[in-house]
Structure 1
Amino acid sequence: MSGNNQNYNTIVGPNNIEEIRAHSSRRRFGLRWIPTSAQEFEDSEIKLLNCLNVPYEIGFVNAGQVLQPGFCCGVAKLINVKIRTLVVNKTRPGTPLLLLHGLGLGIGCFVPVIRAVGQQFRGPIYALDLPGFGLSTRFNFPTDPKETEETYIKLLEGWRHTLNLQRVFIGGHSFGGFLATSYALKYQDRVQELVLFDPWGFPEKPEKVSYFAGFQNPFVIHFITLVTERVNVNAHFRLLGPWGPKSFASAIETTWSGCSASKLFEIQSGLEGSDRLLSEYMYHCIAGNPSGEAAFRSMMNWLVYTKEPMARRLHRLNTPVTMLYPEDHSFVPSIPDDELECLIGPLCRLKIIIIPSRHHENMLVSKTVEDVLLNLT
């Protein structure tokens, strides 16, 4: 594959990667409330991927089957789960790097990372849409948190088996960091090293929560937790319908005071308008069927905690781990460094790095992340 990136957006690959048009139905015209469709989502993804400075391949990988509960006491059925997968440097001989995104995101959030390290990384780089997110299969997950987590791990292993990858580095951001760690606990011989970017779901929830997602007022904390336990995280943007995209873009910029990941990406890449492409892509990620959000809601405890925290399991982890945290406040609680060192497995090599001038949402766009990934051996 050669030429400029205008030639890279063809879906190619082995027989286990299938053409997107055979995967999902398209609805571009006609009456609708939420301004999204599989076609528009794919278009926004391709526009964003054309910001890459390396050739890529993209398609679907068969990850196995799951039992889909029947609707309203109907008959359950097996469905095939297909995982949207991006790969660069597929023929390079080094150990592959697998990137797992956070809640409500997808492959596109790693475009800044791949753009920064793709030309120099020694092995292939894979990024995927987790099941229930992005353009991967969206289905009804179990409501039991343990079963939901096990479903994710089963599908990630099915994805790896289909591609016949022997050992991988895994980089996971937020929710992706939780799943990466869970996978490494079950398949330690398959993971060479974990790189976790402000991972969600590690500490136990304290008996009394005095600070929550940037708020200290106990009434506000109670209200937020009450709502998020009953409603999916991004439901309000979907309820806004045609006003959703503008509201979403405004919320990102307002929350992060002009230092959003999309704005930093435009600065880093030097590509005018790339911030808009990333913002539009992120909206399509959250505008569709909230299958992954519902799965997350079944696993969470007060949104920023989980019902099955990693703190209870880290003593079994022997895989080398690099933990990266943003210097600026993160709404994702973490385990204090000294406590983390006591909890981690005795054979595990642990490195903790603080990324200066970054927060949870924009930390992937940083020189520190680039250096860590390029130094993986």
Structure 2
Amino acid sequence: MRRIFVFLSFSLLLAASTSFAEEYFPSRFEWQTISPAQAGFNPEKLEQAKQLSISKTVVEPQDLNQVLLDNYTPKEPNYRVLGPTVPRKTPAGMVLKNGKVLTSWGDTQRVDMTFSVVKSYLSTLVAIALRDGLIKDVHDPVVNYVRDGKFDSGKNRAITWHHLMQQTSDWQGTLWDTPDWADRPVGKSLEEWQNRELYPAGTHFKYNDVRVNLLAYALLQVFREPLPQVLRREVMDKIGASNTWRWHGYHNSWIELDGQKMQSVSGGGHFGGGMFISAEDQARFGLLFLRHGKVGDKQVIPADWVEKITVPTEVRPDYGYMWWLNTNKRISKAPKTAYFATGFGGNYIYVDDTNDLVIVLRWIPEMADVINAFLDAQVVALK
């Protein structure tokens, strides 16, 4: 009986400590650390993974305005940078285990462009709109909420919030002086681009920043206040993020709404702009999802949203609601349930509930190799 009592007591203590580890969320200005031994990691392999991260970092050329022009001008008609850019300069990254810093490198407080990682922030605002009753259902046609002509055509009227988040809307039109077909055009000539094949909503996946920017515009119409203000109030302040992050649009994406001039932000840095943010704030955002939307005893975003964002898109099974999924084992050593936000130049937030890990990488194009190295450094997966 005594052995049973001791065993049960130990089990309860272990469960309590594990629960505490799962619930831990750093307060503003505070990051607890955890040693490799406490986290179940091999110190030598962990250091090797860190050094691999640094060696894989690409920060040259630093002028991202010129990088964008060099990369997209040969591929896209009338390409131009419409939003601000900042130079990239140094390696930076973080690995969280049980919400605590296992290792980090570089200037984790430096504010950098994050490109398409911001798409995951954008879809999070749909969760806020659903929670607050501003959107009734993700399968509602967007034309029910935005009635200024952008969704009035017969083809566009069928587009839902679900389609916009899965990038299967195939919306046809022009936004901020850029036609939908001009972003990553398919074909070899202007005639082919302008007369592209049209698809019913939900039947064809196309990674397209014009349509992502359309989601941002539609949400601006729903919230009727700038999206950075909504994100700060409803998410970033609640996760203890710094005040250094900025979310930009384009010089031509200003509108007047309710008598006030507001900027519609961009859902990436393809044309410049987007989210400028530090590795530490990115880590907090990733941890929010690892905790299923909870900070301490406060539910910041609906608990079931994590389940919704990780439902595979039917026509693109490795993509959810603006998060990439590991269903195809792109990261070979990671579980299929892992998911990640990605951005041009090698910006990532990796979320792994199985291993209780959040990994933030800056300017590392070879993401899979680096994350595999960190997973390899685990002696045992502790939950």
Q: TM-score range by the shorter chain?
A: under 0.3
Larger RCO, structure (CA 8 Å, separation 6 or more): 2
Superposition TM-score, scaled by structure 1 size: 0.27
Superposition TM-score, scaled by structure 2 size: 0.27
Q: Which has the larger radius of gyration?
A: 2
